[in-house]
Structure 1
Amino acid sequence: MYEKTFPVKRYKNTLAFLQKHINTQEAILDLGVKNPFSEIMKQHGYKVENTSGEDLDLDFELIKKSKAKVVTAFEIFEHLLAPYNILREIKADKIVASVPLKLWFAPAYRSKTDPWDRHYHEFETWQFNWLLEKAGWEIKDTFRWANPVRKLGIRPLLRIFTPRYYIVYAERKR
C-alpha cells in the first residue's frame, strides 16, 4: 500500500486527484516505465499500461496505437525537451498530468549520478496550462501542494509554504 512507500504525500495527493476524475473502468496509458505509482493505481482497481522506456520526445508509436481513454503523466513532462509534441499525439480523451513547479529559491533538479534523471523544464502553473491548451487540451481542474522536507535551513523552511507539485485534469478539445 502507498502509505509504506516514498513519497507518501505526493502519492496520496496524486491518487486522490486521479480518483476524483477517472473511474476504474477507463483504461489508462501511463507515460513512463512501470513505477511504484503505476502499481498503486493497479492496487486501486485501475487498468494501467505503461510505455516501455522509449524516447517520448521522438517515438510516439505506442501513444498513437493505444486505445486507452485516459493518459496519465506523473512527473514526466519536465524530462522532455519538447512535451508539446507528445501532447499533440495523444489520442485519449482525458489526461491527468503532474509536474514539479519552478522554485525561485532552488535550481532545476539534476541528478549527479544518472545522466537521464534531470529536469529540462520546471514549470510555473501558467506555463503548463498554456502548454496543454496550445496542444489541444481544455483544463477542467487543477491542484497544487507543497512538499516539505525534513531538513534544517532556509530552503526547507520555504518548502513548507511554497507549492512544489501541480496536477491537472484536462479533456481533449473537440
Structure 2
Amino acid sequence: MYDKTYPNKRFKYTLEFLKKHINHSESILDLGVNNPFSEIMIAEGYSVKNTSGEDLDEDQSEITNASADVITAFEIFEHLLSPYEVLKSIQSQKILISVPLKLWFSAAYRSKTDMRDRHYHEFEDWQLDWLLEKTGWIIKDRQKWTNPVKKIGFRPLLRWFTPRYYIIYAERA
C-alpha cells in the first residue's frame, strides 16, 4: 500500500491510530496542503479536506470556519510559531496531532533551501500535553514510536531506542 519513498512506519502507525479513534462517517480537515498521507486517508475511505497552504500563524480563518468533525495535524505544529493560536481557533470537538519529538542528540530540523520547511518547535511530550490542556483539550489517548535508520554510528543506534514521534487523540473539554 505504501510507496517506498514514503515513511512507511510513521504512516502505518498514524493510520492505525486514526482508525482506532475516528469513524469513516466523520469528516476531517487535515491541516496543511494535500499530501501523501491525505491520499492514504482518502484511499482508506475517509472524507478529507486539506487547508489551502495559508500561513496558519497568520490566518486561521479556514480552521475557524471549518465544519469538519475532526481536525488532523500530522507533523504541522512543529513548523508553527504559535500553535497555541491554531489550537484555540479549532471549532471541531476532536483532534489528532502528531509531532516529531525533540531529541537531545540531534538538532532541530532546518532546511537550507526552503524557508517554510523548518522546525520552530520540536516538542517534548509534556510540552505538547500542556499546550493541549491549556487550550481546552482533554487527551484521550497517546502513543510514541521510534524511527530507526540503517546507518552506523552512535546517533543512529540511539534512534532504535529513543522515541521520535508522538501522536495524540484529544477531545474538547
Using structure 2 for the length normalisation, give the TM-score: 0.98
Match of 1:112 in 2: 112
Q: How many residues align?
A: 173
- Deviation digits for residues 62-87 of structure 1 (CA, Å, limit 9, x no counterpart): 11111001000000000000000010
Give the superposition deviation at 1:113.
1.8
- Correspondences of 1:97-136 after superposition (within 5 Å): 97-136=97-136
Q: Return the alpha-carbon distance in structure 1 between the equivalents of residues 5 and 30 of structure 2.
A: 19
Match of 1:51 in 2: 51
- Deviation digits for residues 126-148 of structure 1 (CA, Å, limit 9, x no counterpart): 00000011011000000000000
Q: What residue identity is the alignment partner of 1:11?
A: F
Q: Return the alpha-carbon distance in structure 2 between the equivalents of residues 74 and 5 of structure 1.
A: 18
SS for the counterpart of 1:58 is coil
SS for the counterpart of 2:160 is helix
Using structure 1 for the length normalisation, give the TM-score: 0.97
2:24 matched to 1:24? Answer: yes
Q: Return the alpha-carbon distance in structure 1 between the equivalents of residues 8 and 163 of structure 2.
A: 16
Give the superposition deviation at 1:53.
0.4
Structure 2: gaps of 5 or more residues: none
Q: What residue identity is the alignment partner of 1:51?
A: T
Match of 2:139 in 1: 139
Give the superposition deviation at 1:5.
4.5
SS for the counterpart of 1:148 is coil
What is the aligned-residue identity percentage? Answer: 68
Match of 1:84 in 2: 84
Relative to structure 1, the CA distance from residue 24 to residue 4 in structure 2 (aligned partners, 3 Å threshold; closer, same or farther) is farther
- Deviation digits for residues 40-94 of structure 1 (CA, Å, limit 9, x no counterpart): 0000000000000000001011111110010000000000000000100000010
Structure 1 segments (4+ residues) deviating >6 Å: none
- RMSD (Å) for aligned C-alpha atoms: 0.8
Structure 1: gaps of 5 or more residues: none
SS for the counterpart of 1:161 is coil
Match of 1:155 in 2: 155
Give the superposition deviation at 1:2.
2.2
- Deviation digits for residues 82-130 of structure 1 (CA, Å, limit 9, x no counterpart): 0000100000010000000000000101112211111000000000000
Q: Return the alpha-carbon distance in structure 2 between the equivalents of residues 107 and 19 of structure 1.
A: 32
